[in-house]
Amino acid sequence: MLNKMKNSFFLPLIAAVSALGGLLFGYDTGVINGAQFYLTEYFNLSNALKGWVVGSALLGCFIGAIAAGPLSIKIGRKWSLIISAMFFTLSAYGSGLPDIFPQSVSALVFFRILGGLGIGVASMNAPMYIAEIAPSNIRGRMVTYYQLAIVIGFFVVFLVTYFIGNNLTDAENIAFGWRRMFWSELIPSLFFLVLLFFVPKSPRWLALKGKDDEALLVLQKINGNKKASMEIILIKNSLHKINEGAKVNYFSKAIFFIIAVGTLLSMLQQFTGINAVLYYGADIFEKSLGFGKEDVLAQQILLALVNLVFTFVAMFTVDKFGRKPLLYIGSIGMIVGFLLLGITLQQQYVGVLSLIGVLIFIASFALSMGPVVWVLLSEMFPNKIRSVAMSVAVAGQWAANYIVSQSFPVVMGSEINNGTHWNGALPYFIFIAFILIIVFITYKFIPETKGKSLEEIEGFWK
């Protein structure tokens, strides 16, 4: 009985600790949004330089995601997450101390890129680690902890930066308030770093390295002796289907296809337009309800609350309904939301319906593409290629993130979008087209992985 109680606490602890990588993802992404207003004045940044300071972390995210695959194979999921925690910590501390170098803006960008490296490494390793260690019947819910942590991190940092900024004068915020906003990230990053030393290594990575006894011990703590013995046999059989000494040919037709499907799904998560709404949602709210700049807090809380609530809904339904049903339901909801927003913009009837459209879209994304994509990416790839495949898929997602965040304001400001036909609605109809592609890809190529072991899922691709 005592062992069962220990096991019941052991698994949630592992998932919660590794999901802190997601919280730091959301925190690090959100902190720059709160700090950039004041540091822009401190450094007297031009628009172009401001964009570089704010967006530089994406470069680190892309590089970190690419490097995460080989790193994860070499040193394992656990130590990769420890390295990402170190990057987060250095970034948080250094971003608040830009004057330690002669070129202060360059130093700030350097530390922002370090934070991006941490996000890139964690965004690949955290969901994969959870998937490799969680029992199949609750794996979906465990991996959605990661997406939930991202949402919570974004929400918490918004409250923290608001609290810091609201308790200082404008002059104080410009002088040092924005530094405190960056330093506030030290608390979760150090917490993450310390706790990671108390979680076990991934049993599938241990088996991949021939450490079967260690892998079995970890599985026994989670699943009990009988189930662990069966699972270690499945893992070893999966790994031995390719000779131990043989190199994997990632460009073979079968493996390339699996990676291509996963990468496409990962990129489509961004092509839904989620970051366009999160980054530029304040403008939409201002037009919809006449909110002024002083109401930004209310706008962000409304978005964050809807996002948070429906991420919880996804957590408790992904293992009950399955991955594909949630993707279908969410895709329909996202289309309906953007249709409401797009049509009201096009017909110049901007109002409460426009706001409802935005909220329906956010809720539908939080229910589906937000958490479910991370679940599928963490479990759809075979053991032998999971690290590299996840690395490519996550790097593709960061590339798509950059494309959307850079192209959205360009399309919004274009003559065709602002002409009498579209009236500002064109981007949302483009996003609808991508969401329809998601429905097709899900139907045609995505396996239903609910309740299956990672080794059973491999059979889908044969």
DSSP output for 173-223: IIIIIHHHHHHTTHHHHHHHHHHHTTSPPPHHHHHHTT-HHHHHHHHHHHH
Give me the count of residues in the chain: 462
Contact between residue 311 and residue 371 where contact means Cβ atoms under 8 Å apart = yes
Contact between residue 138 and residue 319 where contact means Cβ atoms under 8 Å apart = yes
Each domain of the chain, given as residue ranges in start order, spans 1-199, 250-462
Residue keyed to tokens 């918004």? 158
Return the pLDDT at 365: 96
Distance in angstroms (rounded) separating the CA atoms of residues 378 and 125: 9
Return the pLDDT at 284: 60
- CATH architecture assignment, domain 1-199: Up-down Bundle (1.20)
Return the pLDDT at 99: 67
Of the candidates 429, 427, 435, the one whose C-alpha atom is nearest the C-alpha of residue 408 is 427
Q: Give the rounded distance of the alpha carbon of 56 from its chain centre.
A: 17
Q: Which class is 250-462 in CATH? A: mainly alpha
DSSP code at position 134: S
Return the pLDDT at 285: 63
Give the Cβ contact number of residue 248 at 10 Å. 13
Query: Number of helices and strands (H, E) in the chain?
Result: 20, 0
What is the identity of the amino acid at 159? L
Distance in angstroms (rounded) separating the CA atoms of residues 260 and 270: 16
What is the CA angle 264-266-271, rounded to 5? 85
Give the Cβ contact number of residue 278 at 10 Å. 20
Distance in angstroms (rounded) separating the CA atoms of residues 119 and 21: 8
Distance in angstroms (rounded) separating the CA atoms of residues 190 and 180: 16
Return the pLDDT at 322: 92
How buried is residue 247: exposed, middle or buried, by Cβ count under 10 Å (0-12/13-18/19+)? exposed
Q: Could you list the pLDDT tens digit for every one of the 462 residues in the chain?
A: 445 445 566 777 777 787 788 898 888 877 887 787 788 889 888 877 877 887 788 889 999 999 998 999 999 999 999 999 999 999 999 998 866 665 588 889 999 999 999 999 998 898 889 888 888 778 888 888 888 888 888 888 878 888 888 888 888 888 889 999 999 999 999 999 999 998 899 998 998 888 989 999 988 888 788 888 888 888 888 776 554 445 677 888 888 999 999 999 999 999 999 977 876 665 566 655 555 555 555 666 778 789 889 999 998 899 999 999 999 999 999 999 999 999 998 988 877 888 889 899 999 999 999 999 999 998 899 888 888 999 999 999 999 988 887 788 788 888 998 888 898 889 999 999 999 999 999 999 998 988 888 878 887 876
Of the candidates 305, 309, 359, 363, the one whose C-alpha atom is nearest the C-alpha of residue 331 is 363
Under the phi-then-psi rule, with left for phi > 0, alpha for psi from -120 to 50, and beta for the rest, what region is 246? beta
